[in-house]
Structure 1
């Protein structure tokens, strides 16, 4: 990408990005194209596919849960074309790394709402928690412990007692206890890693 194109893209993306300054946007654009391997593909969507993106989540942010990484990918890939383009990259990282609590709550809720129906059901909770907990070899039926955990979580977070979490339930619970933001799995970078690792 030539300097003039890069400058124009940086200016455009900086105007629409509230959490990064111009220098940071410029660096993230360069990093995006470095991650692509510097190859601009003709006629194809230019972006990070699911595997490349998951690799970044794993290597840079220490994420290991396949389902959560797929959901994070979908959170970034707003146009659902199977690739994270440069615009989605900048906007996604802006929220991912520096978003307000409100932005992060909406993002996490979307990640956890596996079927996109506006609720986190018992089945969705069970599925996510099953992936995130270590199984003990001595356990007779590890699923029983997860079912108990789902019930405990519902008691804590389901304010309207309808057996599922709406965004309103989730938001209220997170505002009371911010640790519940990632109650069903790590879908944001660990704040401790931020100072030790860089994307580059």
Structure 2
């Protein structure tokens, strides 16, 4: 990709990519192009196929959980794929992601309390469950809620290492 085409694409993407500056967008475009994502024929769509994407998640970020690698964050939590994250799904995810502490208190009661707190924070339409729209609005308003029910993204250390390497290597290109 020539420099003029790269700058034009970066300018276009910067308008909607609020979390990245122009240099970062250019680096990401260069990185994307180094992944060998050119289509094999002229009618194919440019992009990563599922196996290539899973390989990047595994090798670069150490992700091995198939359920997480095959779904986006909302779908990871929507266990029965009905389009909503129910109280029961929240309870299940929180129970599996929280460390068990020895105490006289019933741990399930604490988890139920967390579910109610989460619903108050994220359930914008007050129907007792999270739709994708509820989830998206809550995460956009407070990105820490992205992993409210447990990890669904690579850990921060892997992400930071990837960013440092990607922005260094692509600026050298």
Aligned residue among 109, 134, 154 for 2:115 = 154
Aligned partners of 1:6 and 1:157: how far apart in 2? Answer: 42
TM-score normalised by L of structure 1: 0.53
The correspondence of residues 50-61 of structure 1 with structure 2, limited to 5 A, is 50-61=50-61
* Contact 1:157–1:165, Cα closer than 8 Å, also in 2: no
Q: Secondary structure of 1:197's partner?
A: helix
The correspondence of residues 1-200 of structure 1 with structure 2, limited to 5 A, is 1-35=1-35, 37=36, 39-42=38-41, 43-72=43-72, 108-109=73-74, 111-113=76-78, 115=81, 117=83, 119-121=84-86, 124-125=89-90, 154-159=115-120, 164-165=129-130, 167=134, 171=138, 181-198=146-163, 200=166
Structure with larger RCO (C-alpha < 8 A, sep 6+)? 2
* Contact 1:63–1:186, Cα closer than 8 Å, also in 2: no
Q: Secondary structure of 2:54's partner?
A: helix
Structure 2 residue runs without a partner (length 5+): 99-107, 167-173
Structure 1 residue runs without a partner (length 5+): 73-107, 134-146
- Residue 179 of structure 1 and its aligned partner are, at CA, apart by 6.9
1:154-174 Cα deviation digits (max 9, x unpaired) = 355344897644538x95xx9
TM-score normalised by L of structure 2: 0.59
Aligned partners of 2:86 and 2:20: how far apart in 1? Answer: 35
* Contact 2:78–2:85, Cα closer than 8 Å, also in 1: yes
Larger Cα Rg: Structure 1 or Structure 2?
2
Computed over aligned residues only, the root mean square deviation of the Cα atoms, in angstroms, reads 4.1
Aligned partners of 1:163 and 1:38: how far apart in 2? Answer: 42
Aligned partners of 1:2 and 1:128: how far apart in 2? Answer: 47
- Residue 69 of structure 1 and its aligned partner are, at CA, apart by 1.7
Aligned partners of 1:27 and 1:196: how far apart in 2? Answer: 15
- Residue 32 of structure 1 and its aligned partner are, at CA, apart by 0.6
